[in-house]
Structure 1
Amino acid sequence: MLIGIDPILTADLLHALKSMGHNDTIVIADRNFPASSLARRYLPLSGVDAPRVARAILSVMPLDEDPNPASAMTTAAADGRDAVTKELEQVVGQPISLLAPPDFYAEATKAYMIVQSGEPRFYGNLILRKGVLPPQ
């Protein structure tokens, strides 16, 4: 048992987050995303929605300071952002850049890991770019 670690952060996920370097990316995918066929490393978290997974990951992983450290898949909504995208933006705490589906899939294939959530909503997908820890 560890103190202060979100319980959905499994040992495998914590190991992956620790192993990632600056500028590596991790994808949080909805349950319909072809995660296992696209992933270099694949981890299912079936009972958890995408915003919850994002919140847990961001509790231990710094985002890059790049202007676009988080990306989502554009949706059919007028502004390209469905309710799930807006919820993910709230978790991230800043605007998320939008990628057309083919571009999102291409970026996902380059990711360090794809975590497949149980998110039932379409477009519940997010790419996070790891930042650096400040010197201590």
Structure 2
Amino acid sequence: MLIGLDPILSPELLYALRAMGHGDEIAIVDANYPASSSTEQLIRLDGVDAPMALKAVLSITPLDIYVEDAAFSMQDAGDPDNFPAAVQTFQTIINDVCSSNHNIKQLERFAFYEHAKNAFAIVQTGETRHYGNIILKKGVLPSA
């Protein structure tokens, strides 16, 4: 065990987050997401919901402040103007954890799939709510 780290952060997830550079992206996806066919770098967190995973990742990884959009979610395919409950939860976590203002940009379902394929890694959670998917763009640590 390590002091000060959320125990959700598995060795594989810690390795991926540390190996990522500024501008690299990581996707946190729900249990229904086609993750195995979307990436070679799949990290499974089956017993964890997506908000818990998001909070753990953001506890040690900054979002990029030098881009307009640093967080992306999947639009509701049946109602693109709807802000799904899972995404509302994600936005609340980002607002609570991040020091900068980051609004989640919604992407059409297939655009989200394509975007996620370019992520450094995909973290598949046990999230059962629909649209429990988010992509984060890693930022830089502040200067000492």
TM-score range, shorter chain: over 0.9
Q: Which amino acid aligns with 1:42?
A: L
**CA separation of 1:103 and 1:6: change in aligned 2, threshold 3 A:** same
1:85 and 1:133 map into 2 onto residues whose CA distance is 26
Shift of 1:100: 0.1
Q: RMSD in angstroms over aligned alpha carbons?
A: 1.1
Q: Which amino acid aligns with 1:4?
A: G
Runs of 4+ in 1 over 6 A off after TM superposition: none
- Contact 1:40 1:109 (8 Å CA) reproduced: no
1:10 corresponds to: 10
Unaligned runs of 5+ in 1: none
2:112 corresponds to: 104
2:86 and 2:9 map into 1 onto residues whose CA distance is 21
Aligned length, in residue pairs: 136
Shift of 1:135: 1.6
Q: Which amino acid aligns with 1:129?
A: K
Shift of 1:134: 1.4
What TM-score do the two structures reach when normalised by structure 1? 0.96
Q: Does 1:57 align with 2:57?
A: yes
Sequence identity of aligned pairs in percent? 46
What TM-score do the two structures reach when normalised by structure 2? 0.91
